[in-house]
Amino acid sequence: MIRCFIFALIFMLTSCNTDFHNQYERDFDISLMNRNEKFHLSGDYDSLVKLNKDYYEKATKMGYDDGKALCYINLANVNIPLQNYQNAHILFNKAEKILRNSGNNIHKAKFYNDYGSFQVELKRLDKAFKYNEMALNYTKGTDESPFQKEVLFKIYYKRGGYLRDKKEYEEALKYFHKAEKLDPLGRADCVIGDIYLYELQKPDSAEIYLTKVADAANAQGRSDGVALNANTVLGEYYIWTRQYDKAEKVLNRALEINKKTKHIFSQYTKYIYADFKSLYEQKGNKEMAYYYLQAYVEEKNRSDAAVLKAINHDMEDFISDVEEDSLHHRNNILILCITSISALLVLGLYVWKSIRHLKGKRKILKQEAEQLKSQMYDTSREEMIEQARKNDPSFLDTFKEAYPGFIEKVLAINPDLESSDLIFCAMLKLHFTSKEIATYTLVQHRSVQQKKYRLRKKLNIPTETDMYQFFDSLI
């Protein structure tokens, strides 16, 4: 009799599974995705956090655990650009626990793709690429839907970004073009234009993609992250091609957008001020160039402590509430098991074993979180990186203490290197990107590329050898 009951229960669950997935996607996933993306692109942090808290409660009432996982993922993504890595790690772990037993492969694809993005922030590009590959595999054989298309777009978009970091530009463009076909907002076009401008140095091709996005966004009066990115890079294109009046116009537009999206895209303020500084330097207006240099320095040194404190407070409250809700839920399950008929004892035993397994896994994850926390708060390394960001003169001395023997080996190859060359070598040793070096040293991106080229000659680095690998091999 018990076997018949269990068989009937399993049959009903599996026969209704597809319908439930479709209903949940219509009533929950797509709605959350569209509103979350809107708030994210507009930089409306408060609304974004509140949205996911509300949807978490909705998922709880619906008994939709996958919906809770989506909220965890979205909130983890809020924390990443603000470097709240500990909170992001906790939220990703909660999502992973839920999705481990999920039958929805698109949700798993979203998790692994977004978790891969987190690995990039931790300087683990190989792991990021691995998780992106897992996400892509989970999309195979899935039904086409608006939610599936958005997840697939982001997988292609991130994969293109990883290949760009690996300097495989043509292969990166293939994936960005795949993403472009799934993207009505122009997010992929912005990156394609950026690659043509800086990596491939084809400004005419860059202009096609950048003006397409910027014109469309400006005509619609949009003030979101896509419009911000397009106008900023388009301004850099106009500086590159000496069209200074046009550069001034679009950079002012970017600055207006930035004021509305500053909560999430705060780093763009520095880029825009640096672009204005370069613009007025080339125009010979030293007074305005100095003004924007000062504005850049002030913005660079501005404390985000208040914003981070508010975010941490929101995240800690949310995580605390979730823990209480989880405990209450487990108590209800225990009461239900005690009062259930004997036919459900087998299922109760299964739940008990699952909880023991999860507790063991939780202990392991806690240890991993502590190790990660230890790595992230290595104060000496943070101090050195912060000195580089501030262009602090003591950066090189701190670097020598952290990497004894490295500078000596570089000088052994070429004793005539200047102090600026050694600082540049140190930044490459720390795996700073060209864009980061340009921002920290207050020069244009192409100046960094030219310095890399000259340094190759001074140190006899073959063109086929990656510079980051070359400096990694010295010590």
The model's pLDDT over 33-43, given as tens digits with 9 standing for 90+, comes to 889 888 877 76
Single-letter residue type at 157 = Y
Tell me the pLDDT tens digit for each residue of 405-437. 999 999 999 999 999 899 999 999 998 998 889
Question: Which of 63, 57, 68 is closest to 29 using CA atoms?
Answer: 68
**Ranges under pLDDT 70 in the chain:** 1-22, 43, 261-268, 299-380
Neighbours of 418 (CB within 10 A): 9
Task: Output the pLDDT for position 263.
Answer: 46
Statement: the pTM of the whole predicted model exceeds 0.95? no
Tell me, what amino acid is at 218?
N
251: left (phi over 0), alpha (psi -120 to 50) or beta: alpha
3-state secondary structure 418-473: CHHHHHHHHHHHCCCCHHHHHHHHCCCHHHHHHHHHHHHHHHCCCCCCCHHHHHHH
Tell me, what's the pLDDT at 344?
Answer: 59
Closest CA to 74 of 98, 105, 40, 104: 40
Closest CA to 131 of 103, 159, 157: 159
The per-residue pLDDT for 303 is: 39
Which pLDDT score, from 0 to 100, does residue 389 have?
Answer: 85
Residue 397's region, left for phi above 0, alpha for psi from -120 to 50, else beta, is alpha
Structure tokens at 223: 């003030």
C-alpha distances in Å from residue 357, one per residue of 39, 99, 361: 38, 15, 6
- Predicted confidence (pLDDT) per residue in 365-377, tens digit: 455 445 544 444 4
Cβ burial 184-214 (10 Å sphere, 16+ → b, else e): ebbbbbbbbbbbbbbbeeebeebbebbbbbb
Q: What is the CATH number of domain 185-302?
A: 1.25.40.10
- Specify the DSSP class assigned to residue 304: -
Tokens of 68: 């809770």
3-state secondary structure of 73: helix
The confidence score (pLDDT) of residue 115 equals 94
Q: Which residues contact 158 (CB under 8 A, 6 or more apart)?
A: 113, 116, 117, 128, 132
DSSP E strands, 317-382: none
Domain limits, the chain: 185-302, 314-379, 380-474
Residue 159 confidence (pLDDT): 94
What is the rounded distance in angstroms from the CA atom of residue 57 to the CA atom of residue 42? 24
Residue 249: both structure tokens together:
């116009």
416 Rama sector, left if φ>0, alpha if ψ -120 to 50, beta otherwise: alpha
